[in-house]
Every structure is written in C-alpha cells, then in structure tokens.
C-alpha cells in the first residue's frame, strides 16, 4: 500500500464516520462541527486528486463561510436536547428505508454511467483541478453556464439587499 492509498482510506473512513456523526449527534451544534470535519475529509480527497484549488475553495466557501452562517442560526435558536421533537419509531424506520432506496438508486446510476466505466481516478497526477486549467475551462467551454450562475448569484444578492432594507 502506498502512502496515497493509506491517505485515501483514512480520509474516506473519516468522511463516513463524520457524516454518520452528523446524523447521530443529538446536539445540532455538534452536527455542524462534524459536518465541517466531513468537508475537511473531502478537501483531503481533492488534494489527493491534485485539485488543490478545489480543495481550498471547498474549505473557504463551505467550511469557512456557509457553515459559520449555519452555526450562527443554530446558536441563536438555542436548540438543545429538550426542544428536539420526539419522533416515532415507525417514522425513523420509514426514513431509513426511503433514504436507503435513494442511496441505492444513486449508486446504481453512478455505476451504470458510461462516463465512469473503465476509468481510474487520476491520483496525484490530474491537473484539471489546478486554478489555471479550471479558469480556462470555466471561461471557454463553460462560459454560458458560468455567466448564468453569476447572474443568479447577483439576483440573489439584490434580493437579500431588498429584504434587508426595512422601509
């Protein structure tokens, strides 16, 4: 086993464990913190794939900004164990079954997708995740979706400002 493989399995185990902890934690703040751990593990995977830019942007945007806003809301709501609604066992079972079905569909779809078959991950060698290549791709091949999404963001920002202005 090479170091890359050890790292891969370690990060995968960490990601899965943290993801389970997100669901199992009683305290919503703990859930958010475990979710941050998941993001770290995923970023580790990006680095293994030599996509350093994606890794760090994942950390800055998701762990650094979005999760902070999540924490804001949760901390201000002052949720704790007592306020958690008591769910019935059947509800939990139904949730587990439907979630499991969804997972199965997703896994089978990904396995059947022609793009993924017979391909290997470019561990440590791929260079599409580097900032230069990513920028070139975004501004040449994918320029229309990129601009559309930026207009979407702009409209969201304008909307936030309008809501924020109380007159």
Partner 1 sequence: MTLLAFDWALLIEKLVLIAVIVFGSLGIALYTTFAERKVAAVLQDRPGPNRAGPFGLFQPFADGLKLIMKEEIIPNTSNKVLFILGPGLAMTAALMTCAVIPWSSHVELFDRKIELQIADINIGILYVFGVVSMGVYGIMIGGWASNNKFSLMAALRGASQAISYELAMGLSLIAVLMLSGSLSLKSIVGEQMADGSLWNIAYQPLGFFIFFICALAECNRTPFDLPEAENELNFGYHQEYSSMKLGFYLFAEYVNMIMSSAVMACLYFGGYDIPFLDESTLAPNIAALLGVGALLTKIVIFIFIFMWIRWTIPRFRYDQLMNLGWKTMIPLALANMLITGAVILWKAGA
Q: Which is nearer to partner 1, 15 or 129 (CB)?
A: 129
Query: Which residues in 5-34 contact partner 1 (CB under 8 A)?
Result: 27, 29, 33
Geometric angle at alpha carbon 116, from 132 and 108, rounded to 5°: 135
**List 21, 71, 123, 128, residue binding partner 1 (CB under 8 A):** 71
Judge whether 143 and 66 are in contact, CB under 8 Å: no
Judge whether 37 and 14 are in contact, CB under 8 Å: yes
Judge whether 80 and 71 are in contact, CB under 8 Å: no
Query: In this chain, which stretch among 16-24, 52-60, 107-115, 148-156 interacts with partner 1, using CB under 8 A?
Result: 52-60
**List 7, 14, 21, 52, residue binding partner 1 (CB under 8 A):** 52
Q: Would you say the C-alpha torsion 33, 39, 42, 47 has a positive or negative sign?
A: negative
Query: In this chain, which stretch among 69-77, 85-93, 97-105, 142-150 interacts with partner 1, using CB under 8 A?
Result: 69-77
Q: Which is nearer to partner 1, 22 or 63 (CB)?
A: 63
Q: Would you say the C-alpha torsion 149, 151, 154, 159 has a positive or negative sign?
A: negative
Identify the CA nearest to 36 among candidates 63, 65, 9, 61.
Answer: 63
DSSP 3-state of 25? coil
**134 near partner 1 (CB under 8 A):** no
Instruction: Tell me how far, at minimum, the Cβ of 100 lies from partner 1, in Å.
Output: 31
Q: Which residues in this chain contact partner 1 in the complex, by CB under 8 A?
A: 1-3, 27, 29, 33, 36, 52-53, 56-57, 59-60, 63-65, 68, 71-72, 75-76, 130-131
């Amino acid at each position: 086993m090479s170091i890359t493989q050890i790292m891969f399995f370690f990060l995968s185990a960490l990601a899965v464990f943290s993801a389970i902890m997100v669901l199992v934690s009683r305290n919503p703040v703990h859930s958010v913190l475990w979710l941050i751990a998941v993001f770290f593990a995923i970023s580790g995977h990006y680095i293994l794939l030599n996509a350093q830019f994606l890794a760090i942007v994942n950390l800055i945007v998701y762990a650094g900004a979005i999760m902070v806003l999540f924490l804001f809301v949760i901390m201000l709501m002052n949720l704790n164990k007592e306020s958690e609604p008591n769910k019935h066992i059947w509800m939990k079972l139904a949730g587990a079954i439907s979630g499991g079905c969804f997972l199965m569909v997703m896994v089978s779809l990904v396995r059947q997708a022609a793009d993924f078959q017979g391909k290997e991950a470019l561990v440590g060698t791929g260079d599409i995740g580097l900032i230069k290549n990513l920028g070139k791709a975004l501004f040449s091949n994918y320029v229309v979706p990129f601009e559309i999404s930026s207009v979407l963001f702009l409209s969201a920002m304008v909307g936030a400002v309008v809501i924020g202005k109380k007159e």
